[in-house]
């Protein structure tokens, strides 16, 4: 039961790839304020991408202080806080000291970011072994997951591996910093570490077989002995130090966290129907698709099924695209007109994709007409591989149909073609899951890259499913705030909190007729280009 109308609040904290954000909510699900701080990405040659846990923690504390001040509420009114974060690997030595994870040797760079693909070789070796736990990651482990990355550390930075006191998923690092509690979330370790939540155990034979027997021999002390459901209250709440850094009261309830995309799922999957009818689509730098089922469904190339990793008591299948919003940014950067367009966007204080969406709107009668602007340009936007349904980290983007045009209109055409490509990749995931027995009725979208009506309509037309916009302006932050609300005891469980705090603001229905025929033709071209690229790589 909610306590709507009283002067109590919850905070959701989201640590994405490029920023830390906090949202302060009342107990009706209304966001009263939001704060944001950028965080650094450190890139090395090849596929190495790193971050600093110290910088991230400082940014988190800053945005919490800022959001409370901005909302003009009494800090004592904040009764719970929830965290979500990217599924990045944090490596700490004894006492929480940072350890260098890459060739820079800089101990401040103690995070291997989710999108870091340094462990492709390790992932391929793990997949070749064919251990039974891989059934629960779509048959193939990804280099974006944690055990290949830890294996890379053992083989390439053995001192760091040996000296590591704890290997954390980033969300679990944040809850530890906040509470001192080493508990891990079912969400993080089940989705990214091969924990078998339906059996409540790690499989020691997997770690022994892949070359990480030390972790099993230690009783999994370095990766998590106590695994709890998201929303579980941790420790005694905020420690004195954490509370002082955040400007909140010591003892404020802190919830076991989630991966960022899954928090978006919590903030959306209950919208407009039962969770099993909805595919939660988090469209940000990357994209993540999350489908809830009552019984386990095994889908080749789609991660899972994971038990109770998002909605308690349900199984989760997780797909997505390793580059989504980032793919559009990359695509536009190639074009000769990008510099001019970027200058316009900066002058107006908006992002380039926002400028593109506005430009498209000025050229069409209805949003569904946008596909015609793409003309003969076709894009397979797999700049960072295919996460699902092919689980192919070696896949790369294909762009077909470009001419000698250098003007802004041609940049708009490329933008529309790229969005269509994102939508066709989404359609592949939906259709692959449906063939395996996990069908959905609608797509519920969240994430910064999906806030435009044009984007939502193009995705609906391209994937053939209604795309629903949630009422929440920031569903990922709402999802984390829901965790904090459950930890505080305001709601008895996650489903009741989701039902009370989630709602619909609008729906984009897929177009029929000629528009649907155009997308069908373009989808077939998309598949042909994918197949051609695979054939070229195969030699």
Range of the domain at 413: 325-425+512-538
Whether the per-residue pLDDT at 4 is higher than 50: the answer is no
* pLDDT given at position 45: 82
Over residues 161-190, the pLDDT tens digits come to 999 999 999 999 999 999 999 999 999 999
Q: How confident is the model at residue 5 (pLDDT cuts 50, 70, 90)?
A: very low
**For residue 122, what is the domain's CATH number?**
3.30.420.40
Choose the weakest-confidence range: 262-276, 300-314, 361-375: 262-276
In a domain, 308, yes or no: no
Instruction: From 210, 235, 258, give the residue that closes a domain.
Output: 258
Q: Residue 170, Cα to own-chain centre: how many angstroms?
A: 12
In a domain, 62, yes or no: yes
Burial of 200 (0-12, 13-18, 19+ CB in 10 A): exposed
Please state the φ and ψ torsions of residue 429, each to the nearest 5 degrees.
-65, -45
- 198 and 87 in a common domain: yes
In a domain, 171, yes or no: yes
Cβ–Cβ < 8 Å for 137, 303: yes
d(CA 264, CA 266): 5
> Tokens representing 175?
């809850």
CB atoms within 10 A of CB 227: 23
Whether the per-residue pLDDT at 298 is higher than 60: the answer is yes
* pLDDT given at position 189: 98
Q: Averaged over 298-307, what is the pLDDT?
A: 91
Q: Residue 210, Cα to own-chain centre: how many angstroms?
A: 26
In a domain, 221, yes or no: yes
* pLDDT given at position 1: 35
Predicted structure pTM score: 0.84
Q: Tell me the percentage of the chain whose pLDDT exceeds 70.
A: 99
Over residues 45-95, the pLDDT tens digits come to 878 999 999 999 999 999 999 999 999 999 999 999 999 999 999 999 999
- 351 and 223 in a common domain: no
Whether the per-residue pLDDT at 317 is higher than 90: the answer is yes
Whether the per-residue pLDDT at 2 is higher than 60: the answer is no
* pLDDT given at position 270: 78
In a domain, 531, yes or no: yes
- 238 and 349 in a common domain: no
> How many domains does the chain fold into?
2
- 333 and 245 in a common domain: no
Residue that is written with structure tokens 């302060």 in the block: 24
């Amino acid at each position: 039961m909610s306590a709507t109308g009283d002067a109590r609040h919850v905070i959701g904290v989201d640590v994405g790839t490029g920023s830390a954000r906090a949202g302060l909510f009342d107990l009706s699900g209304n966001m009263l304020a939001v704060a944001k701080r950028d965080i650094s990405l450190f890139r090395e040659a090849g596929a190495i991408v790193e971050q600093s846990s110290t910088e991230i923690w400082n940014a988190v504390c800053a945005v919490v202080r800022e959001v409370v001040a901005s909302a003009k509420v009494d800090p004592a009114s904040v009764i719970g806080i929830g965290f979500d974060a990217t599924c990045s690997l944090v490596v700490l030595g004894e006492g929480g000291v940072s350890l260098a994870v890459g060739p820079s040797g800089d101990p401040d760079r103690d995070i291997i970011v989710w999108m870091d693909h340094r462990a492709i070789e390790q992932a391929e070796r793990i997949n070749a072994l064919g251990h039974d736990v891989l059934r629960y990651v779509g048959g193939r482990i990804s280099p974006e997951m944690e055990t290949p990355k830890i294996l890379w550390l053992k083989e390439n930075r053995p001192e760091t591996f040996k000296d590591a006191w704890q290997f954390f998923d980033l969300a679990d690092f944040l809850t530890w910093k906040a509470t001192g509690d080493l508990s891990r979330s079912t969400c993080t370790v089940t989705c990214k570490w091969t924990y078998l939540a339906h059996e409540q155990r790690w499989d020691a034979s997997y770690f022994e077989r892949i070359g990480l027997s030390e972790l099993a021999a230690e009783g999994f002390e370095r990766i998590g002995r106590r695994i709890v459901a998201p929303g579980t209250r941790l420790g005694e709440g905020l420690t004195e130090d954490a509370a002082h850094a955040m400007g909140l009261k010591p003892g404020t309830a802190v919830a076991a966290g989630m991966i960022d995309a899954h928090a978006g799922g919590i903030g959306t999957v209950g919208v407009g129907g039962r969770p099993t009818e909805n595919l939660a689509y988090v469209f940000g730098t990357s994209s993540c698709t999350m489908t809830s089922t009552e019984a386990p469904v095994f889908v080749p190339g789609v991660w899972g099924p994971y038990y109770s990793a998002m909605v308690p008591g349900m199984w989760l299948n997780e797909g997505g695209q390793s580059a989504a919003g980032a793919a559009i940014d990359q695509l536009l950067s190639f074009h000769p007109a990008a510099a001019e367009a970027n200058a316009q966007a900066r002058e107006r204080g908006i992002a380039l994709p926002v400028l593109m969406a506005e430009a498209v709107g000025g050229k069409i009668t209805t949003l569904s007409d946008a596909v015609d602007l793409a003309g003969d340009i076709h894009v397979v936007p797999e700049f960072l591989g295919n996460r699902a349904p092919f689980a192919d980290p070696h896949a790369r983007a294909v762009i077909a149909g470009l001419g000698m045009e250098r003007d802004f209109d041609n940049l708009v055409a490329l933008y529309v073609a790229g969005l269509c490509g994102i939508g066709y990749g989404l359609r592949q995931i939906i259709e692959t899951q449906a063939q395996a027995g996990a069908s959905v009725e609608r797509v519920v979208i969240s994430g910064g890259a999906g806030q435009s009506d044009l984007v939502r309509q193009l995705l609906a037309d391209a994937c053939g499913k209604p795309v629903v916009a949630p009422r929440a302006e920031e569903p990922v932050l709402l999802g984390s705030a829901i965790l904090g609300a459950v930890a505080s005891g305001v709601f008895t469980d996650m489903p009741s909190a989701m039902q009370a705090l989630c709602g619909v603001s609008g729906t984009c229905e897929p177009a029929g007729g000629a528009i649907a025929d155009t997308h069908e033709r373009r989808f077939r071209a998309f598949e042909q280009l994918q197949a051609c690229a695979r054939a070229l790589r195969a030699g």
